[in-house]
Amino acid sequence: MLYNQILENIYKKQFSPVYFLCGEENYFIDKIYEALDTQVLTEGEKGFNYDVFYAPEIKLGQVIAAARGYPMMAEKRLVIVKELHRARKDDLEILTPYLEKPVPSTVLVLIYKDKKLPDGRSKFMKALKNNAIIFESKALYEKDTLIFVQQMIKEKNFSIEQDALQIIVQYLGTNLQLIESELKKIFIYLESKKLNQITKELVFEFINIDKDFNVFQLIDALGARDTVNAHHIIDQMSKNFKDQPPLMLIPQIYKFYQQLGILKQNNFTNDKQIAEFLKIHSYFAQKYKIALQKYNITKIKQNILHLLEADLSLKGIHTTRMGETHIMKTLIIKLLSD
């Protein structure tokens, strides 16, 4: 069942006797769990009808005993098993008899945070498929994250500039919990000022990204082979490497050239092809399109080697007398040279 449908049913008080929340993206699992935790029972009802277990510290037989109990002064019992992925696979079968015939007055929530699921042919999984809501929370690609974050912002009745959206995802990655936490600060500010749009300037201010010079602007300058701007940016960034350490900049620049090389080798030239392949918004594919016109495959491969060498020098693996500022400025020269 889809995430939004599960939440809608929970808030309508339409509960399944068993939920199996699994996968590697914790955000959606936690949101469903939190909804069940607040909607199945009131705080007053939890005293006699609420159990939380952690696998593998407990025997799964205890879970069955709790789930088979009848509610006291409430319509439901809520039994939650966290970290079920840490239980031995053979032990999961202990739950099978209960899953084959769950108690209607109990809501059993099994939380299995792992990308590798139990064998679908096992009795345990077959019982779940017949009698449970199974939600698999898969890791998001960058494109999916952009869409989800846009939706998250829209639901709060705000909008966001495309550049600001890309900066959030590039800087915070696909960590939805972190993104939501950071956005809350911006939401509070917008509400206090009666504003409705998240701008690039607000993102830099509230998410502690340098608003004048940062890795995203550096990558844009490198992609366009804008020598003057790239040297100016790295010169200014070098004054504040404590907040933006070179060892954090290198992987992001490396990723850019690596993706550029793949696009070049596959002869992707238009915005749609680039966006679909990299799973990014078509708006941001334009920057890759410009870079593809500026670099040939030989230069891209050379730049990847330059980045690896700089990384080894910064880590002290390659002996050098250069400090990190000198290493980074020399790197920029090499990346932009013919």
Query: What one-character-per-residue DSSP string does 110-129 give?
Result: EEE--SSPPPTTSHHHHHHH
Let me know: does 37 contact 147? Beta carbons within 8 Å. Answer: no
Distances (CA, A) of 281 to 142, 166, 288, 333: 9, 9, 12, 30
- Which region, left, alpha or beta, applies to residue 194 given φ > 0 means left and ψ of -120 to 50 means alpha? left
The stretch 250-256 carries a mean pLDDT of 93
Distances (CA, A) of 145 to 155, 166, 168, 256: 15, 10, 10, 18
Report cis status (omega within 30 of 0) of the bond before 251. Answer: no
Report the pLDDT value the prediction gives residue 271, as an integer from 0 to 100.
84
What distance in Å separates the CA atoms of residue 282 and residue 275, rounded to the nearest whole number? Answer: 5
Report the pLDDT value the prediction gives residue 296, as an integer from 0 to 100.
95
Longest dimension (CA), the chain: 78
Q: What mean pLDDT value characterizes the chain?
A: 90
Report the pLDDT value the prediction gives residue 212, as an integer from 0 to 100.
57
Report the pLDDT value the prediction gives residue 65, as an integer from 0 to 100.
95
Q: What is the DSSP letter of 19?
A: E
Domain coordinates in residue numbering, the chain: 3-137, 142-206, 215-336
Report the pLDDT value the prediction gives residue 208, as an integer from 0 to 100.
65
Supply 32's token pair.
């469903």
Q: Is the pTM of this model over 0.75?
A: no
Asked if CATH classification 3.40.140.10 holds for the domain at 3-137, the reply, yes or no, is no
Q: Which range among 54-58, 100-104, 216-220 shows the weakest confidence by mean pLDDT?
A: 54-58
Please state which of the four CATH numbers 1.20.1630, 1.20.120, 1.10.8, 1.10.10 is assigned to the domain occupying 142-206. Answer: 1.10.8
Question: Would you call 249 helix, strand, or coil by DSSP?
Answer: helix
- Residue 162: pLDDT over 80: yes
Q: What is the dotted CATH code of the domain comprising 215-336?
A: 1.20.272.10
